[in-house]
Amino acid sequence: MATVIDVHTHYVPPGWPDLAGPGEPDAPWLRLETERDAVIMIGSTEFRRIRSECWDAEARLADMDADGVAVQVVSPTPVFFSYGRSPAQATRIARIFNDLALEICAPAPQRLLPFCQVPLQDTDAACREVERCVAAGHAGVEIGNHIGDRDLDDHGVVTFLQHCAALGVPVFVHPWDMPGGPRLDRWMAQWLTGMPAETHLSILAMVLGGVFDRVTDGLRICFAHGGGSFPYWIGRMDNAWRRRNDVVGTSSHPPSHYLRRFWVDSLVFDERALQHLVATMGVDRVVIGSDYPYPLGERPVAGLVQRSRFLDDAARRRILVENAEAFLGRPASHTGSAHAGSQGMSTSLP
Ligand code: CO
C-alpha cells in the first residue's frame, strides 16, 4: 500500500485550564465521562461527544498504521478558534491549545505534525502567535474561513496570509461558524450545506477580492472538503465574470484562472465527484484529507483515492503523498511502508 499524508485531521486536548471569566460567557470545557470518552461543552450545552483518539497519540498511530497513513497534520477543532472573543482571551486560548497540541504530537513528532490556531481577529497577535508556534515545532496553521463578517479578503487577514507566505508556513482553511436559523438548524444542514457553501464563499472572496492578485504566489493555502462547492461552480462564476463584469470583474482574471493558486483536500466520498475535482483543480492540486477522527470523515483514510479507477499509479501517488509534500514544504524523501515516514520526514521547515 502506498504511503499516505493526511492533511486534514483534528485534535482536542484531554483537558485545559479554566477559560471562564468575567465577560467571557460560554467558555469551552471538557466533561470527561470515561478514560476514553468525553464531551466538549460550551457553557452548559453539549457541543460534541468525542473519544480519546482526539488526544491519544498511541490510538492515532494505531489507526494510521491500519490505514497506511505515514503522516497526519493535526489541526485544531474549529469550535476553539474563539474569533468572536476578545483578542486577549483568544490569544490566551490559542497559546494554551497550541502548547497542548505539541504535547499530543510529541510521542511521534515525525508522523504527527501539529498545525496551530491564531487569534485571527487581531492581525498583530495572530502574526506573533504563528511565529511563536513555528519556532516551537508547529508545521503550519489552520484558520477558520471567516471572522464574523470579515472574509479572507479582509485587509487584516490578507496581511496575516502574506506573513505566512513570508515565513513559508502552510495555511489550512477550515469552514466554521456556519449560519443558523430554522431552515439550517435541522438534521446536520449546517455541516451538509453550510460548510461547503462557506468554503465556496471564502475562495470566491480570495478571487474576486483580488487576494490572489495581491499576495505572492509563495502563499501555500489549502481548503477543506474538496474546496466545498467552489470547484463545481467554476463555470457559473466565469460566466458571471464575463457577462456581469461590471459587478463581478474585480479580479484581474476569471475565477478559473486562480485554480493553480491553492490546494483542496480529497474529502468528497464519491468517485465521480473526485474525478470532477481532479479534472477541475489539476492532479497536482488535490491532497488527502480525512477529517479524522470525526464521524463525517473518511475511513479507511484515502479509501476513495485508493480505489478510484480513473487514477493511474502516478496520479494516485501524487494525491496520496507528493502534493501534500508540496503544500507542507517538506521533501519527498520517504517511501514504502507507513513507518518509513518516521525516518524520512524532517520536522524543520525549509
Ligand atoms: Co475538519
Cα(8) to ligand 1 centroid in Å equals 6
Q: How far, rounded to the nearest angstrom, does the alpha carbon of residue 52 sit from its chain's CA centroid?
A: 21
| CA of residue 291 to ligand 1 center, whole Å | 4
- Give 226's DSSP letter: G
Span from the CA of 268 to the centroid of ligand 1 (angstroms): 13
Residue 199 has pLDDT above 70, yes or no: yes
When pLDDT is averaged across residues 3-24 and rounded to a whole number, the result is 91
Given a cut of 80, whether residue 344 has pLDDT beyond it is no
C-alpha cell at 25: 460567557
The pLDDT assigned to 19 comes to 87
pLDDT at 1: 47
Q: How confident is the model at residue 348 (pLDDT cuts 50, 70, 90)?
A: very low
pLDDT surpasses 80 at 124: yes
- 19-32 tens-digit pLDDT: 887 778 888 999 99
Say what percent of the chain tops pLDDT 90.
88
Nine cell digits for residue 342:
518516521
pLDDT band at 231 (very low <50, low <70, confident <90, very high): very high
Sequence-distant (≥ 6) Cβ neighbours of residue 190 within 8 angstroms: 178, 179, 180, 184
Average pLDDT, the chain: 93
CA 110 to centroid of ligand 1, rounded, Å: 21
CA 287 / ligand 1 centre spacing (Å): 14
Cα(137) to ligand 1 centroid in Å equals 22
Residue 216 has a pLDDT of: 82
| Annotated domain spans of the chain | 4-328
Cα 231 to middle of ligand 1, angstroms: 18
pLDDT at 341 over 70: no
Residue of 237, 234, 298, 253 whose CA lies nearest to 271:
298
Q: How far is the CA of 306 from the centre of ligand 1 (A)?
A: 20
What confidence score (pLDDT) does residue 105 get?
98
Going from the Cα of 156 to the center of ligand 1, the distance in angstroms, rounded, reads 24
Q: Higher model confidence: residue 26 or residue 107?
A: 107
pLDDT digits (tens, 9 = 90+) for 241-263: 999 999 998 999 999 999 999 99
Residues 6+ away with beta carbon under 8 Å from 181: none
Which CATH number does the domain 4-328 belong to among 3.20.20.140, 3.40.50.1820, 3.10.450.350, 3.40.1280.10?
Answer: 3.20.20.140
The reported pLDDT for the residue numbered 46 is 94
Would the pLDDT of 96 be above 80? yes
pLDDT of 153? 97
- Which pLDDT score is estimated for 2? 55
State pTM to two decimals.
0.94
How many A from CA of 174 to the centre of ligand 1? 6
**CA–CA separation, 307 vs 296, rounded Å?**
19
Distance 188 CA to ligand 1 centre (A): 15
